[in-house]
Structure 1
Amino acid sequence: MEKLVYTLILAARKLRPYFQAHRIEVRTAYPLRHNLHKPESSGRMLKWAIELGQFDLEYYPRKAIKGQALADFILEFDSEVDDKTIVLAESSSQGNSPVDEREELPHPWWILHVDGAVNYSEAGVGIVLITPEGHHLMSAIHFKFYVTNNDVEYESLINGLKIALEVGVVNLIAQSDSS
């Protein structure tokens, strides 16, 4: 817990003008506010609590970002899709893939494979859209700005879904190595 509070302290010290000028939302799955304000905290935690007390900090539970990214995408393109059926497929415990368990619908199934990668100087996205006939449509995107590993994984999925919509895909299975 001390490492999390120390990280917040370092951010507050480096971004002091922003912390002083704005209300800061701290999104975490850990009870930071509770641990900072309990009287039996260690001396170091009490010092940090006093230092953070000068800022307008609001603590909120962390949201699920991946689910939110998919929900935002669906809302953004909701009016462009005629058939609004969404089928979520998960692998069963016997090891069968979602492709084997898909139901028969009037439109054929497409498969989307996405992956993103980041290193110290560059970031990129690879997208492969497989048609029902087995043809591979490939796309690559290079980012010329700083992104995190999570950002590039979300961007790969969002851009893959955009490509699928442009092609006119109705039934899609999206696969990513991001957990």
Structure 2
Amino acid sequence: MEKLVYALILAARKLRPYFQAYRIEVRTAYSLWNILHKSESSGRMLKWVIELGQFDLEYCPRTAIKGQALADFILEFDSEVDNKAIVLEEPSSQRNPPTDVREEFPHPWWILHVDGAVNNNRAGAGIILVTPEGHRLMSSIHFRFYVTNNDVEYEALINGLKIALEVGVVNLIARSDSELVVNQVNGGFQAQEPRTELYMRCVQHLLEKFGSARLEGVPREENSNADALAKMGSQMDSIQLGQIPLGIQEIPSIPEVGVFPTQEIP
């Protein structure tokens, strides 16, 4: 079944401008929609679900296709498409006329809302990635390690940026209601602790990977949906999460800061 989803991913990457501009009808003999929207989806399948969520896809029944035809399709595109989504470039008047239809499509802006929550020694993150068309891709993460209130805000932002990169977002506006995190990343506040500085540099490094990206602060009431996802993720409330993917993170996104003993020199 993964081969079928992978074939759809390859087609979406190869024909990305058309997938973005039109409603795509996917004819398959399998219940592909139910497979992609399982609450227990994780790992590679979860990344594919998020990537396909940006398109307007309609799944329709059809007769089964031959396995060899599917294999030929994968082989045809596999040599031309790498693990990253296709990066489209906005045409410039100083460049040669575009030879590929993909260059005629400028990069749209995506919006990322993130929030973290710590409740009763449990922590979680809420992530909402909004496509240029207004579709919302939501995810929640439960952390199985100790984090402070500031650490969990950084973890939420880091995970949200990684998801956006996996999907192939080029232009991004990230929004957080943590004034401390926003100002530290943007240079307004200085990170006082080594652990905080590692988190800050990690976020700055991820932001540099986008074509254009910025981090903005928003009032807590404008970030309520991400906050709700973070609280449900901290409690691992699978009943309320429903079809929203719930991820489990075992270790921090940054290396542990060691504490070394010191010796007084006379």
- TM tier relative to shorter chain: 0.3 to 0.5
Greater relative CO, 1 or 2 (CA 8 Å, sep 6+): 2
TM-score between both structures, scaled by the size of structure 1: 0.41
TM-score, normalised relative to structure 2:
0.28
Q: Which has the larger radius of gyration?
A: 1
